[in-house]
Structure formats: C-alpha cells, structure tokens
Amino acid sequence: MSKICVIGTGYVGLVTGTCFADLGNQVTCLDLDPQRINNLLNGQMPIYEPGLEQLVKQNVQAKRLHFTTDYKKALEGIEYAFIAVGTPSGVDGEADLQYVKSSAESIADLVDWPILVINKSTVPVGTGDWVADVIRRRRGDRPLQFSVISNPEFLREGSAINDFMNPDRVVLGSEDRAAADHVAALYQTLRCTIMITDLRTAEMIKYASNAFLATRISFINEIGNMCEELGADVREVALGMGYDKRIGHTYLDAGLGWGGSCFPKDVKALEHMAVLHGTQPQLLQAVMEINRNQRRRAVMKLRKALGSLNEKTIGLLGLSFKPNTDDIRDAPALEIIHLLTNEGAHIRAYDPQAMANAAKVLKNVKLCENPYQVAEGADALLLATEWNEFKQIDFGRVKKLLRQPVILDGRNLWDSEQLKAMGFTYIGIGRGNGK
Ligand code: UDX
C-alpha cells in the first residue's frame, strides 16, 4: 500500500486517483475548486464517465479515497505526488503550464521528505526538467530529495477506467532509474508492459501517440473525400486496409473528424513545439487542416441538398465530441452549429449526456429532449455523434416529423439502403458508390 496524492480532479486525475485507491493504495485527490471537491464529497461527479461514480463511492466508503482543497493536508506524508492538472492551449497553441507550475511550487513549499513528483498531465517535451527547476528554485537553499518522473496517460474519455486498469503499456520517463522503478511498482499488479525511458522521450511518446491517432483519422477522411468523387465506399476501403496487420482496423472510421480535450490541444501543441524548435511539421499542419475541413464539408453537403441554408431548420443528433461522454470541448457539432447559424439556419439539437454542458455555450439553439423532437419541422437531420441510442430510432416517425426527408449521417452510423428505400435523401461520409 502506498500513500499517493493526485493534484487535479479532471477525468485524468479523478480516474487515476480512484483507480489507484481501488488497487489498495491510500489516495488523496486535491483540487483548488471548493465546489468541485464539495460535489465529490457528496458523490457528485464533475464529469460523466461510465462506472466512475460507483468506483468513487466504493473507495470513499473503504476509506482509501479522500478529497480536499487543502494542499498541506493532501501532501502530508506522501510518497508519490501526481500532477494531473489541465494544460489548456494558449493563444499560439502552446500548452499553458501555469497550473503545473503552481502545483510544483506547492510541493516545494510543503514537502520536507523524499518525494516522487510524477507528471501525469500532457506536457511539452522538456517540461519534466522545467518542473525540477521550478522545485529547486522554490526551495532555494532548503534541500529536498525528489525526482521528477513523466508518466503520460492514455485514457480515452468514456472508457477511462478500463483503459487505466487494462493499459497496453505504462510509460515512465526519468533521469533517475530508481525513481522510475518506484513508480513502476504502483502499476505492477496491472501485469502490463512497463516501459522505462528518459523524461523527454516519455513526454514525446504521449504527443506522438495522439498525433498519430489523429493522423490516421485525417488520413481516412481524406481518402473518404476522394471516394465521394471516385465512386468508392470508404467504409469498405478501411475494412480492406485493416486486414493488413501492419494497418489494423482502429481509428479508420471516416466521419466528421476528431474533437475533444486532447487531440486538438495535443496536435496543436506538438506543432507549436516543432516550429519553436526550427522544424517544419507539414504533416501535422495538414492533419489539422483536413480535420477542420471535415466540418465545413458537412455544411457544404447540407447546403447542396437544401439549396440554401438561410431560414432552414437543421436537427442535430449528438453534441458531445464522441459517444459515452458529456464532453463537448472542440466537438465537431459545435463548430457545425456555428457555421450553419452563420448562414441563417435554425438549429434543434439533442444529446443523451451533454445537454447541461451544451446549454452553457449554445445560444439560439432549441435544446430538445429526444431525437423525435429534434426532427420536428426540420429540413434535414444531421447525425454528429454515434450514440448507441441513435442506432435504431424509428425512421418512419422521423420521416413524418421532418419537413424534408434529408439525412446527413456524419458518422456513417445508419443503413443507407434502408433509409433510401424509405424515401430519405441519405448523405453519408465517403460513400461515393451511392451505397
Ligand atoms: C484520446 C486518445 O485516444 C487517448 O489515448 C488520450 O489519452 C486522450 O485522447 P479521447 O480524446 O477520449 O482519447 O477520444 P478517442 O476515443 O481517442 O477519439 C478521439 C476523437 O477521434 C473523437 O472525436 C472521435 O469521434 C474521433 N474518431 C475516433 C474518429 O473520428 N474516427 C475514428 O476512427 C476514431
């Protein structure tokens, strides 16, 4: 059993802390936001993450998991301090490290015993050295025995608990091998590959992994756009490609592209790092441009199908950036709503989990309670997020409710043949052979 403090209770920090507690450790999750900590103490989660509420409850009841805003209390007698605070994008796409810095300074102020400082947040390459420097400067002439370890997370929203408990690999980076071995001990029971490397390499593995996944998606979206002109079906292309073990089938679903709190931020941060250090990230720039374009193409398709978007009503199914999350950060749906509204369209929308978050940012959008209310009087229906509950909606009812039977299936979720047979104008992504 180890004593762990996790600083930051976003989906990474909260899932990490709760899972470490579930493995039998004593964990204190710390956050500056009293409201958030209060809610957690009352069993209210700050995010929708399947299974998290139950796991938090179990571990709080077992007295392994604690929540506080009090840095001193949280760090008392701690061996491992995980920094899992946000690193939002700055104006130029760079990662904003102010919260990482204040966490490191608090550790320096409050800890007088040997401690391992573990960067769980996604931070630019070189940040580990910078955190060590922040701590040393803050300590001045007061000695402190500490090491900084990079331990990037690979958690997907909507499956974060599973991804923590069943990782493909744990990556640890440090200049102090013994320190890395100590952190590795925390993951031993997961029986997975634990890769130990140096700080900068570990930090780069995180960015390179996310950027590569985003590249796969932009790649298949570019192929999909070609398929539309060349009469091929991108779903079948991706299937045929994926049988090649070197390619595989994952992250090859053409659609409205990637969003969320990670890919956009991380790809932009990597591009920024590259340019700042004198290399030209042409591929990353193209990957981002293709992704931006995917949203514009959806609006172009609707405009083409309806003649004009002015004074038309468009119904959107799904607002979260992907299913099984309430996170709408950089969701394709939000940008598409902005573009449609710009052309005079009226919007109706529904999402199974993201309505509360959407209500905070969406003005002049009719927020509905179900897919059928969205379809009421709409000139077209756009599927933006492939939630399970949209898979088998009653299309007969939808058709009666729509003003025009036009469907843009932004995630190739539905059966085009079935919908066409029902008299819908079906528009998919990359479906050039009309199937
Ligand atoms: C991602 C990484 O997968 C995870 O390892 C990292 O720690 C955080 O960022 P996440 O952002 O939660 O996780 O979502 P993910 O499931 O990877 O999907 C990212 C985006 O790509 C979503 O917008 C999704 O809709 C889109 N996507 C995914 C596609 O458009 N096509 C695909 O084939 C797969």
> Confidence class of residue 69 from pLDDT cuts 50, 70 and 90?
very high
Ligand 1 near 160 CB (within 6 A)? no
- The SS3 call for residue 370 is coil
The pLDDT value given to residue 333: 98
Ligand 1 near 253 CB (within 6 A)? yes
In this predicted model, what pLDDT tens digit does every residue of 74-119 receive, in sequence order?
A: 999 999 999 999 998 888 888 899 999 999 999 999 999 999 999 9
Q: Give me ligand 1 centre to Cα 339, in Å.
A: 23
Active site residues: 262
CA distance 211 to 258: 11
Q: Any bridge partners for residue 337, and if so which?
A: none
**In sequence order, what E strands does 8-135 have?**
26-30, 65-68, 80-83, 115-119
> Ligand 1, closest atom to CA 331?
23
Mean pLDDT of 67-77: 96
Lowest mean pLDDT among 38-52, 88-102, 121-135: 88-102
Domain spanning 3-197: CATH 3.10.590.10: no
Q: Which fold has domain 211-427?
A: Rossmann fold (3.40.50)
Cβ atoms of 332 and 295 within 8 Å: the answer is yes
CA distance 213 to 99: 27
> Confidence class of residue 34 from pLDDT cuts 50, 70 and 90?
very high
Q: Is the predicted pLDDT of residue 170 greater than 80, yes or no?
A: yes
* Residue identifier of the C-alpha nearest atom 26 of ligand 1: 258
Q: Is the predicted pLDDT of residue 435 greater than 80, yes or no?
A: no
Q: Is the predicted pLDDT of residue 374 greater than 80, yes or no?
A: yes
Domain ranges of the chain: 3-197, 211-427
Q: Do domains 3-197 and 211-427 have the same CATH topology?
A: yes
Q: Is the predicted pLDDT of residue 121 greater than 80, yes or no?
A: yes
Cβ atoms of 151 and 6 within 8 Å: the answer is no
The pLDDT value given to residue 89: 87
* Residue identifier of the C-alpha nearest atom 7 of ligand 1: 154
The pLDDT value given to residue 346: 98
> Ligand 1, closest atom to CA 163?
5
Q: Is the predicted pLDDT of residue 62 greater than 80, yes or no?
A: yes
Ligand 1 near 252 CB (within 6 A)? yes
In this predicted model, what pLDDT tens digit does every residue of 382-416 receive, in sequence order?
A: 999 999 999 999 999 999 999 999 999 999 999 99
The pLDDT value given to residue 332: 98
Q: Give me ligand 1 centre to Cα 34, in Å.
A: 30
